[in-house]
Amino acid sequence: MFDPAPKDAPATGFQTMARVVPYLWPPGEAWVKRRVVGALLLLVMAKIVSVSTPAIYKQAVDALAGESPDTGTLLGLAAVGLTIAYGVARLMTVAFQEMRDAVFVRVGQRALRQLALETFTHIHRLSLRYHITRKTGGLSRIIERGVKGVDFLLRFMLLSIGPLILELSMVSIIFALVFGWQYAAVVVVVISIYVAFTFKVTEWRVAIRREMNAQDTDANQKAIDSLLNYETVKYFNAEAMEAQRYDNAMQRYEVAAVKTGLSLAFLNLGQAFLITTGLVIVMVMAARGVQAGQLTVGDFVMVNAYMIQITMPLNFLGTVYREIRQALVDMGEMFGLLGQPAEVTDKPGAPDLAVRQGEVTFDAVRFDYDPTRPILKGVSFTVAPGQRVALVGPSGSGKSTIGRLLFRFYDVTSGAIRIDGQDLRDVTQTSIHGQIGVVPQDTVLFNDTVYYNIAYGRAGATREEVEAAAKAARIHDFIMSLPEGYETTVGERGLKLSGGEKQRVGIARTLLKNPPILILDEATSALDTQTERDIQDSLLLMGKGRSVITIAHRLSTIADADQIIVLEAGEIVEQGTHEALLANGGRYAAMWARQSAEEEEEAA
Ligand SMILES: Nc1ncnc2c1ncn2[C@@H]1O[C@H](COP(=O)(O)OP(=O)(O)OP(=O)(O)O)[C@@H](O)[C@H]1O
Ligand SMILES: [Mg+2]
């Protein structure tokens, strides 16, 4: 089921770059390829023009110095003409560059969107287990940084590193041809040292940067977690402790950030030293050439112009390499996430689940979230079509787990779960999810309007259907009493509603979904007895003709179930109707006696 690859292993630089290529050369999408080729052509044109500018400049200087072959009457005219040509060439360089960017931008943005979408979809495909373990804030930052990384990589590889390499090669060739191999050799050696130095130092800085990233994520996570737990923090008077925790995380970030800053200064200084040395060596060589009469003043000026021209993008190389290296780290994380195998997967060619009657069978089901701690230890039961089965038992006995397994959030460790004889592992997850309605123990809502949250139950539901569901869930009147009615926003995770209101919104949207199999996990636990009784009626009505699994603490709400299963520490200890279990005088009877006594006490 699992890939042999280690979890979340960040991909290497080359693997990462290779992952981006298909987005720039997608099969069957000619326009993308056309644009890529167009951008490359424009890139080459820009460089050819830009490399010819210092040569024109030299001609102008020589014309002025009177050393050009066409000395004489035309002298003034030639110098002016060359200067204008120089200006035109400079302008054309910029024009070609901008055209190249304009042609490429659509390709780049499209790649970004696709990658972001792919990662987002994949994260939704990952198991609940993964989501519980991973931190949501961290996940969204990984996508954000990864996509930004791809943006950087595309921009800098194609629009900066590519042109730079092209320009360096052209200049080296011109130096070798015009001035002699010694000039080209100096350029090549200096630039090689420069690049090696830059890469080496940057490698070291990436490690520091990674540490900084980790601390940043950590501090951010702590802040979010603390703010989400706003009420809990107040209950326990823990503001000072929370601030301390946050500050500790920020302090580690500070240390890493300072290190990053210092190492940057070191890198910049080293780069400036190397480049200036190279520049001075080449210019001294040219100066001596002029003194010896081998070169013209124009040549001396041209050497300088070329050196300055390659120095500027080289200065930039430090930043570019840093960004690319960083981009690779961030992208590696994102691709690592994309490579994370989904724990629950559809078999190839799996058919959809076909619910005919809705018989649910648990057959010797064993399950654990963690191999060291078994949760279900061989649970077998059957929900006959249209039956209402209640699961009761102490907290932590595995009731909600049974619901999660039936919904196939996880696959069973051994044994099998079947719906109408079809093993859940042999059918598609979407079809299972479409046939089962769940009112979870704690309903979480989208930070949107009440209407949106109820209508979420079924795409395309009409306003009447939404309101009917709200009425059946006994929440319509409450919603209408709100100043903004159905358009009231519920706050993050639905926090602006009370527990009972949230639960009723949850019930309403499941009523709207109207599935043949229902799981009610303490669906009414947050309600007062009267409201609970009211909703019980509509739940009962909804359950007509469907198979329903009800999980409940308050036994009075499930006393009329067709079958009651008492679960304890992952095992079924009793099973039968209310009357049978009472007559049995076992655990259920004891629980019933205790709860009845409590209720009487309350009544009195
Ligand atoms: N994601 C998880 N990872 C590890 N252990 C888990 C996870 N979810 C639940 N458990 C453990 O599994 C056991 C059964 O949990 P479950 O939620 O099924 O209990 P429950 O019977 O629904 O309890 P309650 O009545 O309190 O809702 C618990 O001991 C719990 O600690
Ligand atoms: Mg539970």
For residues 337-355, give the mean pLDDT: 86
Please give the pLDDT value at position 7. 40
Considering only residues 406 and 233, tell me which one the structure prediction assigns the higher pLDDT.
406
Give the chain's mean pLDDT.
85
Please give the pLDDT value at position 222. 86
pLDDT tens sequence across 489-543: 888 777 788 878 888 898 899 989 988 999 988 877 767 777 777 777 777 777 7
pLDDT tens sequence across 73-104: 455 667 788 888 888 888 998 898 899 889 88
Choice from 369, 442, 443, 520 to test ligand 1 binding pocket (greatest atom count within 8 A of CB):
369
Q: Who's near 336: CB < 8 A, 6+ residues apart?
A: 8, 9, 10, 11
Residue closest by Cα to atom 24 of ligand 1: 395
Please give the pLDDT value at position 136. 63
Q: Who's near 108: CB < 8 A, 6+ residues apart?
A: 151, 154, 155
* 372 in contact with ligand 1, CB cutoff 6 A: no
pLDDT of 209 > 70? The answer is yes
Q: Which domains does the chain have, with CATH numbers?
A: 13-338 (1.20.1560.10), 360-445+510-603 (3.40.50.300)
* 525 in contact with ligand 1, CB cutoff 6 A: no
Which ligand has the nearest atom to the CA of 395?
1
Q: Distance, CA 466 to ligand 2 centroid (Å)?
A: 28
Q: Distance, CA 576 to ligand 2 centroid (Å)?
A: 21
Choice from 400, 405, 442, 521 to test ligand 1 binding pocket (greatest atom count within 8 A of CB):
400
Q: pLDDT band for 419, please (50, 70, 90 cuts).
A: very high
Residue found by looking up tokens 């099973």 in the block:
575
Q: pLDDT band for 599, please (50, 70, 90 cuts).
A: confident
Choice from 399, 524, 551 to test ligand 1 binding pocket (greatest atom count within 8 A of CB):
399
CA distance 362 to 498: 35
* 397 in contact with ligand 1, CB cutoff 6 A: yes
Please give the pLDDT value at position 4. 35
C-alpha separations of 250 from 86, 233, 244 in Å: 53, 19, 10
pLDDT of 345 > 90? The answer is no
pLDDT tens sequence across 258-270: 998 999 899 889 9
pLDDT of 123 > 50? The answer is yes
Please give the pLDDT value at position 352. 92
Contact 301, 315 (CB under 8 A): no
pLDDT of 285 > 90? The answer is yes
Nearest to 351 by CA among 295, 247, 425, 414: 425
